Structures are given as structure tokens and as C-alpha cells.
Structure 1
Amino acid sequence: MEETQQPEGLSPPELAAVRRSLANGRMAVTRRSLLRAGAAVALASGGTGALAACGIPPAGRTDAGRAEDRSAQEKRVVFSNWTEYLDVGEDGKRRPTLDAFTARTGIAVKYTEDINDNDEFFGKVQAQLAAGQDTGRDLVVLTDWMCARMISLGWVQRLDTANLPHAYANLSPQFRDPDWDPGRVHSYPWTGIPAVIAYNKKATEGRTVDSVSQLLDDPKLKGRVGFLSEMRDTVGLTLLDMGKRPEDCTADDFDAAVARLQKGVDGKQIRRFTGNDYINDLSKGDLAACVAWAGDVVQLQQDNPDIGYAVPKAGYMTSTDNLMVPNRARHKKNAELLIDHCYEPKVAARIAAYINYVCPVDGVREELAKIDRDLADNPLILPDRETTARSHAFRALDGRESKEFARKFADLSGA
């Protein structure tokens, strides 16, 4: 396997140490927080506007999407991902998942952690894709709203199901049919990202916080409540608490949710809207309760037993990071074989045990239990049927809605 490229100045053991230090207040930046910061920028600029689901035609050099597939002649694949988003061996150097793939197929993997932000990455590849050129990457992992943008532009290749038997069979029903890629024609989820409620038991004096209503109305929490600077999660959870569905909310529904949150801002119930810094604030108790991403909660709980979480009865929001093959990729079939490899339960369990977000692979529980029984029983990683039933995704927005919703949310959050 080709040498793995690591972020400058940090070895895998150091990255692991960073990951485990989050709850101790030594670092506030996580991969998920960086990703969400990029999402906020895209929303502000109307970046999710051109969605196929909204009937907007593709743009760019879609005629040049397919290149000659050199997979048979060149036994390699170039895979771009986020930092700390794939398992590392005990020596801090090996990538067990990729090593096993190479041993089985003979396909070498050049794995790079060069995605730090959705918009930043889009800027790297936009000119090449628009010109019908190879980006030098065969497989990328991006967030659903950015996937929607790239698919609508015609810059992502359709996947060949013949090369994806495990992925096709094992994909969890929860993730099978997003409105931005119906039937998963262009993408497969790498992981699910739930937004739930987290709280510090010391700061709440042992009380559970389990609803947006509690966050916004409980006087004992006044000034110690946080919401995310990610519009879809914050407004989506508020809509659910109001009995509305984010999947089909109207502009009036959105305005009502923003007005409700504005009341929390004006009354100083909400301390602030957070991006990468809620982790430290929650761990220290400066925030008694907040909206949080589940993977962060799992990691925080490993170091701080005072951190609790709740999945609201009204429902919770879920987004996804997704595997896609960009246009002009030279090794499409090899990339598809790697996707399929990651959907085998034993492999998926190893990845889930490392990254701690929702595993999109059915049948993984038994394999994950062999690694860590607590993780296998954690509904933030393997949601049970009841938890899955409460999962919701924000609907696709057209260009006008995206700009208007982003403007109103920016006015609310101070972004």
C-alpha cells in the first residue's frame, strides 16, 4: 500500500491524543466542527442552491464525465478523506481497513487527509471539474449538501451496482433514498451525523435535558444554553419540537422556528450559537446543555462521566458524509470496490469503533460487539429501531430559499 499522507506536523498517535483530549478542555477543534463551519459559509453564499431535486439542470462539462477507466491496468485508487476519519493501527502508521483491501485485491490505496472543509475542497477541484479534467482523485468524502451541489452540477459519476454487492445489500434503510440522490445512484454514506441534546450533569444538578422546549424555556438553564451555528440542525430540531417536519417545512414554518429561537436570544436564555467550541464549554459546565453532534458526545463521555445526552421524543436531525467518484476519475472500478469493501460488516465495525459516528451498514452489531460491547450497544453509533424512527433530514432547498433562509439564520445567530 502506498504511504499515507498525514496532516502537516501531526502523526497518527498525536492525532489520537488530540481526539482524546477534547473533553479535558485542551482543544476545541474537531473534524465535525470544521466541517460544519464550512457548511455555514456555503449556506450564506447560497452554495446548496442548484439541486437536482429542485428541478435545476446540471451545469458545467457534464459531457466529459467519464474517462477511460484504467483500473485493470493500474491497480491503484486515490482516496481523499477528512482527518481522523479512518481507523489507524496500534503502531499509529498502518491503516488496517486499507491494508486488508490491498491484501485481498492487490489494489494499492493512496490515502490522503486533504479535506478540511467542504467549501475549501470544492475550491480545489471546481476549475478542474468545470473544465472536464481529472482531479487526481478517485474517491472523495463530502457532506450531503455539498454532494447535492456537485451531483446537480453533473460532476459526479453514476456508480455501477455490479461492483457494489455488499454496499447494495447492507446499506441501512435509513440512508437509502435521500432527496438529493434518489436511490443512491451517485453516492454511498460514509457515516451518519446525528444532532442531539447534550448536557453536563453537574451543571444541571443531575437533571436530564431532553427537549428544545427545555433548552428555550427552563429558567434554571438561562444563559447556559447553546445551539449550533449549523442552520439545518438548529432550525430542524426547533421545527420538530414545534410539531413540524423539516422534510417538508414551508417558509412560514422556518420563520416561526427562527422567531422562537430569537425569543431565546432576546431573553438571554441562549448563551450563544457555537461551532467548534461547544465541546470545551460543555465539558467545563459553562454550557449546561446544548445541541451537539453525536460523535462528539461519544468521545466526550469516554473522558467525562458527567456528560449526558438525550434524543428528543419529538425527533432529531441526521445528516451524512458520503463517498462519491468525481468525473474523470481514472480508477472508477477500483474506487467502487473500495466502497464495497467498507460495507462488509467486519470492516464497517472497525471503522465505526474508531470514528464513533452512526454506522450506515446493516448487520454490523455482532462484529462491533467483538471490538467493544459498549459501542455496539450505543444508539448514537448503532441506532435501534425506535431511535431510527425519530431521525429526520432537512429538505433540499432551491437557490432562492437557500439564500433567504441563510440570511435569516445569520441575522439570528450573529454569523
Structure 2
Amino acid sequence: MEHQEPGLSAVELAAMRRSLTSGRGALTRRSLLRASGMGALALGGLGTLTACGIPPAKRSEGPAAASDDHSAQEKVINFSNWTEYMDISEDEKHRPTLEEFTKRTGIKVKYTEDINDNVEFFGKIRPQLAAGQETGRDLIVVTDWLAARMIKLGWVQQLDPSHLPHAFANLVQQFRMPDWDPGRAHSYPWTGISTVIAYNTKATGGKKVDSVTQMLDDPSLKGRVGFLTEMRDTMGMTMLDMGYDPATFTTPQYDAAIARLQKGVDKKQIRRFTGNDYTSDLDKGDLAACLAWAGDIIQLQADNPAIQYAIPAAGYMTSTDNLLVPAKARHKTNAERLIDYYYEPAVAAELAAYINYVCPVEGVRPELAKIDPALAANPLIIPDKAMASKSHAFRSLTVQEEREYEEKFAKLIGA
């Protein structure tokens, strides 16, 4: 199956603008990430991809050529990540887990928070990758659609399993076999991102909202329901509710889900489709219920106990942010040692306690409980077996499917 051809559509651009102009409570790190690089193909066609710094993909002839590894001589790692995606001390002067890694290994980590959205970051490193040159980075974190694209282009190095004993042993089952990187030959998750249903009990009169069917059909919620401008999350959750598998769905099934949501629009059950700004609407009660990202819910609940969430019986959507070693990176072995370090349960617990997203490391619960028992018991951070079993991923799309599905979705949401 061919992989998706990501770009930045008018839908995502609008969401990103909202993220920059909405209220203080709306701009969480996860919301900004999802609003700014979600992988939809621009409606103007493949030309828009190039304008965004993403060329039309060509299937790679094989894995990225091994580059000279200077790890033994140069005890350094150049690590690029998103903002607020690494633990930091209260005085903001120390990175505890990174400093412990250096103390243990002698490898200095030059840590840079220079990823603000996937498309923008790819535009920075694309010229070097396309020219077969090093990017100046040994380790990066990008969302699954972009990870898939870079692997397909041959711009990511294959990892050495012998350097990753903890990662290989401790990666949780639900993230082991993405269709875009079977067996995790090139990538390991930094975090998982769950899409669930959130609701405000003050706005629902104490009623629980736990299915897309209820969101679309309950008259008491009319005009106070929100879905996301991210096609994969909204369509994935709707197809699950209809009994379709997002990993194997057909075009007729996709069209049936579009039609179902269109009815919700026509009868004004759906208030609107939102980017990151659902957080402020949900907090205020303007939205009684909406699709939401789990990391946002944890942050909202800290200030508003009326915010609750539900995992639909039909299941929920999951995606990942992923650690990759770019082609021509000078310090591949050092980077692999850092990846493996973050798959040690005690280290993973320190990170999870700070960033509050889904931890992909098996055995982290008792270590996280030592830091914060409430976080260790939160299934939005450590999904239990029942929750993990309901996790679903959206299948990879061909170029034609990407264009066709995004056009239909944009028409639905009025983009």
C-alpha cells in the first residue's frame, strides 16, 4: 500500500490561525501541534505540497544509505524536539533526564526546541535531505504522517536493534506495528496521542456523553457538539461508531460517514468543526461535548473538574509522535543510545509525569506511581488493557485517496 502524501490544507491553515489568535486556555502544545501539521493534502493539488516545502513523494529504492558514524569520537547528540515536550526543572534551568543521560554516558545532548509544526520543520531540513547532506540533527521528533513520508523517501536511517534492548523489549504492543514502519525498523514513539470524547458536566446537566451516536442524535446536545477539523480523527471516530475499521475502510464506507456527519450539520446538531480552540469552548460550556485530544483533557481537568472524558465502546483513534535518525546524521549510535534510554521505565516515568501524554513504555506504571499516583492511575497517560484494545489507527492513503477524501471533508466542514 502506498503511503499518504501530506501537505497543509486550507483547513489546517485556518486551524493554525485560530490557534494563534484564540484565548489563553486554548493554546495547548498538543492542540498547536495537531492544528499545524496534520497531513492533509491541500485542495489545490500536489503543487501546494512543493510550496509548503514538501515535494511530491517518490518511492525510495531502499533504506537510507548508512553514513559515517562519528559517535565514538564525538560524544554529542543534536536533538530537535517540540516545545514543552521534555521535562524541565521548576527554575527552568535544568533538563533532569537529559542531564542524567550525560552523567551516565558522557554524551552531551545539544537539545533544541525548534519544531513548531511538521510542515515548517520539514521545510527546514528538506534541502539537505534531498541533496544527500546531513541536517545538523541526529534525532528528531515528528508526527506519524511525516515520519511515514520521510521513511518512504529514504531520508531516515534504519535503527540497529542491538543498540535498543530496552526499546525493543518495552515498547507497548499497540504501537509495535504501524503500517508505515512495520516492526519499528526506523522509528520509536516519543508519545502516543489519543482522540476521545470530552464533555462538560455543567453543560450536559450531569449527563455522560460516550458515543458519536449520542453526539449526533441526542436532542439535548443540539447546537452544542463539536468535531475536529483533523480529517483522520473526525472521520476515524465516526467510522468506528458505524462499525467500520479505520485501518481497512473502503471509499463507500468513508462516504457513508461523510453523509452521516452532513446530517448532523444540516439539522444543526453540530455547532462547528474546530481546531485547537475547542478547549476554551469546552471549558466555558459553549460546547457540551466534542472530540478531543487526551493531552488537552488532562490539562483542562487540572483547572475545571467539570471536564470529563469517555472512551466509546466502538473504540478511539490513536496516532504517535516519533523519534527518527535522519539520513547522514553524524552520531547515529549516540542517538540510538538516547532512544533506548527513554525506554527505561524509570526514565519514561519522569518524562510522562511532566508532559502528560500517552507513554509508549511497558512497565512504567509503578515508576510513575512513585512520582504521582494519580498520573499512574490515569488511562489517558497509561492506557489499561481494555483501553489499549480499543485503540485504532487510520490507514495510510494513496495520493488519489488523500486528495479525494480531503476534498469531501473540506466540503463537509465548509472549508
Provide the TM-score with structure 1 as the length reference: 0.90
Aligned to 2:237: 237
Deviation at 1:63, TM superposition (A): 8.4
Deviation at 1:412, TM superposition (A): 1.1
CA contact (8 A) 1:66 1:329 kept: no
Deviation at 1:26, TM superposition (A): 2.7
- In the alignment, residue 31 of structure 1 is paired with which amino acid? R
Aligned to 2:9: none
Task: Choose which of 9, 27, 30 in structure 2 pairs with 1:29.
Answer: 27
Q: Point out where structure 2 has 5 or more consecutive residues left out of the alignment.
A: 1-21, 50-56
**Residue 383 in 1 paired to residue 383 in 2?**
yes
SS at match of 1:27: helix
> Partners of 1:414 and 1:106 in 2: how far apart?
54
Equivalent positions of 1:51-66 (< 5 A) are 58-59=59-60, 65-66=65-66
Deviation at 1:113, TM superposition (A): 0.8
> Partners of 2:26 and 2:64 in 1: how far apart?
42
CA deviation string 1:24-59 (max 9, x = no partner):
963322221222223346433678x9xxxxxx8624
Deviation at 1:64, TM superposition (A): 6.7
Aligned to 1:52: none
Aligned to 1:84: 84
Aligned to 2:337: 337
- In the alignment, residue 88 of structure 2 is paired with which amino acid? V
**Residue 188 in 1 paired to residue 188 in 2?**
yes
Runs of 4+ in 1 over 4 A off after TM superposition: none
> Partners of 1:233 and 1:189 in 2: how far apart?
19
CA contact (8 A) 2:63 2:156 kept: no
> Partners of 2:33 and 2:164 in 1: how far apart?
27
Aligned to 1:44: 42
> Partners of 1:265 and 1:39 in 2: how far apart?
25
Aligned to 2:305: 305
Q: Point out where structure 1 has 5 or more consecutive residues left out of the alignment.
A: 1-23, 50-55
Aligned to 1:396: 396
> Partners of 1:152 and 1:259 in 2: how far apart?
33
Deviation at 1:90, TM superposition (A): 2.2
CA deviation string 1:338-366 (max 9, x = no partner):
00000000000011111111100000000
- In the alignment, residue 26 of structure 2 is paired with which amino acid? A
Q: Structure 1 residues 41, 336: closer, same or farther in 2, change over 3 A?
A: closer
CA contact (8 A) 1:156 1:324 kept: yes
Between the two proteins, what is the percent identity of the paired residues? 68
Equivalent positions of 1:92-103 (< 5 A) are 92-103=92-103
Higher mean C-alpha deviation, range 101-110 or range 62-71: 62-71
> Partners of 2:202 and 2:293 in 1: how far apart?
20
Equivalent positions of 1:16-415 (< 5 A) are 26-40=24-38, 42-44=40-42, 58-59=59-60, 65-415=65-415
Deviation at 1:314, TM superposition (A): 0.5
CA contact (8 A) 2:197 2:209 kept: yes
> Partners of 1:96 and 1:63 in 2: how far apart?
34
Aligned to 1:5: none
Deviation at 1:403, TM superposition (A): 1.0
CA contact (8 A) 1:40 1:229 kept: no
Deviation at 1:66, TM superposition (A): 2.7
> Partners of 1:33 and 1:148 in 2: how far apart?
21
CA contact (8 A) 1:39 1:230 kept: no
Q: Structure 1 residues 240, 63: closer, same or farther in 2, change over 3 A?
A: closer
Provide the TM-score with structure 2 as the length reference: 0.90
SS at match of 1:98: helix
CA deviation string 1:127-155 (max 9, x = no partner):
11011011111000011111111111110
CA RMSD of aligned residues (A): 1.7
Q: Structure 1 residues 306, 25: closer, same or farther in 2, change over 3 A?
A: farther
> Partners of 1:102 and 1:349 in 2: how far apart?
18
Count of aligned pairs between the two proteins: 384
CA contact (8 A) 2:76 2:331 kept: yes
SS at match of 2:313: coil
- In the alignment, residue 36 of structure 2 is paired with which amino acid? G
> Partners of 2:63 and 2:242 in 1: how far apart?
45
Q: Structure 1 residues 257, 343: closer, same or farther in 2, change over 3 A?
A: same
CA contact (8 A) 2:63 2:157 kept: no
> Partners of 2:101 and 2:171 in 1: how far apart?
19
Q: Structure 1 residues 129, 316: closer, same or farther in 2, change over 3 A?
A: same
CA contact (8 A) 1:65 1:132 kept: no
CA contact (8 A) 2:318 2:391 kept: yes
CA contact (8 A) 1:196 1:311 kept: yes
